[in-house]
Chain A
């Protein structure tokens, strides 16, 4: 009867454990963002790509249906193993995400609804430079809590682009870039930087064009670039601007390089693949 005041070791350890547990519990309730996001939704093709590259499939609630379209997506296989959404607010709400990524130009009414219902959406602009690409990958990696993966991806892209630009000749070939519908990418666009990095001069830049602008066929023909990228068949499906039938005059305008323009649209390894392909074409 004399030992009543003494605590046992188990009791003492148990007390510490309970204290620690309760601290952790408090921490997670008070600061939920410290935990890795477990239900990630992407509402934009470019953010789809980032999410699929950086996060495990189990943590992805859904990406857009476009990620499975081989004509525009670079990650079709990966997209097959996660659910897809059609960009609608209901789908987002039903999934109760803890992280939502979208593009600046994702369907505005959907974004408005989500905002009204207090769902936090992080918006990503279209990257306008290689620096933008690095920044977006880093931001996404931070949000997804995968900083090492993000850093590795950036390093890989940098390495590949550097290799592509290794042996640039003194006299660069002029490359004309024609998107479906007749547009081109001038100075201040991602495509422009990729072209330059791969060792070409951008025809649009030479013509004084900056940003995205229309390039009339006549001006393109008159300028006679050395190489031409003109996106043709959209997966073989007919359309006036992307169909099999590009205007016959383009057959005479510079040597064609077949390069899908979707490679240079998003922040991701696509730009490295594009730079490599372009560099190969000039060797």
Chain B
């Protein structure tokens, strides 16, 4: 059992380290000592302000959102017994963005501050449910991809339409944020909004580990091993909806993390789905924080959107995986 723990320890340390690097990365050169010293003052100086109000939320969100995406990818793959499943590809993130957009741009946030994460969660819930209905409990490659394409396409189109019809004319150009995602210029308020649902969702997802292991042998054997598959499915849907929904509502729809991370970790940790959960969460945090650091190191006048970075890595990945799977199925 050592290898699994070893990998998680390394990833955890890496996540922490990258978090610190993220805090040190930014447009303005920051005198760290002064920044850290002033962090708790009521009227902090500029360095402490930047650290506390700009860089800290950004680093925290990159870690949280990355962990959410990595974990939910591993869980979805385990449940659907398909290495292509993850919240972006299956359209769940897209639906979460739609829900958040509807809540935000049509004024619900003025009525209820929690409206936007709730919108994201509702959207993600609907997306997960649709995926299950369209893709079936053990979807084959084609069915899963098609269902995911259908759901993502619908979500993107509906999001574009909602932004087009939104009362505020600036909404239309903000589509870039929702469809590509970013953790730039987020505030501690965003972290506070997203944290509770993410924590609860992640906890719920973690409880599915054993059932996912049992599912490696097929639904019948899993049930004969004492697992209630309907309950497992419910937990996956609820956990994914809560965590991914909240994450997307503050960071937009960032794709491919949940696809790439479990795949990279499988050779290191073993293919047991339950065993991949913690490493995938940590690996997602590492990957997204690293990507976010890279976006800030590139030419300064145009900061690359985070979702573009993950897509640059993830889309070719997805293509190769899909082709390989298709060849096996054929």
Chain A residues in the interface with B (C-beta under 8 A):
180-182, 214, 216-219, 221-224, 234-245, 247-249, 252-253
Contacts and interface: CB of A to CB of B under 8 A. Distances in A.
A238 B46 contact: no
A221 B54 contact: yes
Nearest to A216: B27
Contact of A248 (B28, B44, B168, B187): B187
A220 B157 CA distance: 36
A223 B53 CA distance: 15
Given A218-B28, A221-B28, A221-B46, A239 B171 contact: yes
Contact of B54 (A180, A217, A236, A242): A217
A241 B169 CA distance: 11
A249 B187 contact: yes
Interface in B216-243: none
Interface stretch (B81-89, B103-111, B253-261): B103-111
A18 B11 CA distance: 100
Contacts of B301: 214
A217 B46 contact: no
Interface string B161-181: 000001111110110010000
26 contacts: A214-B301, A216-B27, A218-B26, A218-B28, A221-B53, A222-B28, A222-B46, A222-B50, A236-B110, A237-B107, A238-B104, A238-B105, A238-B106, A238-B107, A238-B109, A238-B166, A238-B167, A239-B168, A240-B177, A247-B185, A247-B187, A248-B53, A248-B187, A249-B49, A252-B49, A253-B49
B189 interface: yes
B188 interface: yes
A238 B110 contact: yes
B317 to A, nearest CB: 29
Contacts of A234: 168-170
A269 B104 CA distance: 35
Say which size band chain B's interface belongs to.
20 to 34
Contacts of A181: 170, 173
Nearest to A224: B46
Contacts of A235: 168
Interface of B: 26-28, 43-44, 46-47, 49-50, 53-54, 104-107, 109-110, 166-171, 173-174, 177, 185, 187-189, 301
B185 A248 contact: no
Given A218-B26, A237-B168, A240-B174, 18 more contacts: A216-B28, A218-B27, A218-B28, A218-B50, A219-B28, A221-B28, A221-B53, A221-B54, A222-B28, A222-B46, A222-B50, A234-B168, A238-B107, A240-B104, A241-B174, A248-B187, A248-B188, A253-B49
Contacts of B166: 237-239
Nearest to A237: B168
A85 B168 CA distance: 20
B254 to A, nearest CB: 16
Contacts of B185: 182, 217, 247
Contact of B170 (A180, A236, A245): A180
Contacts of B26: 218
A275 to B, nearest CB: 26
A223 B28 CA distance: 10
A13 to B, nearest CB: 63
B22 to A, nearest CB: 13
Nearest to A240: B174
Contacts of B169: 234
A181 B187 CA distance: 15
A239 B50 contact: no
Q: 6 closest Cβ contacts across the A-B interface?
A: A249-B53, A237-B168, A218-B28, A239-B168, A239-B170, A222-B28
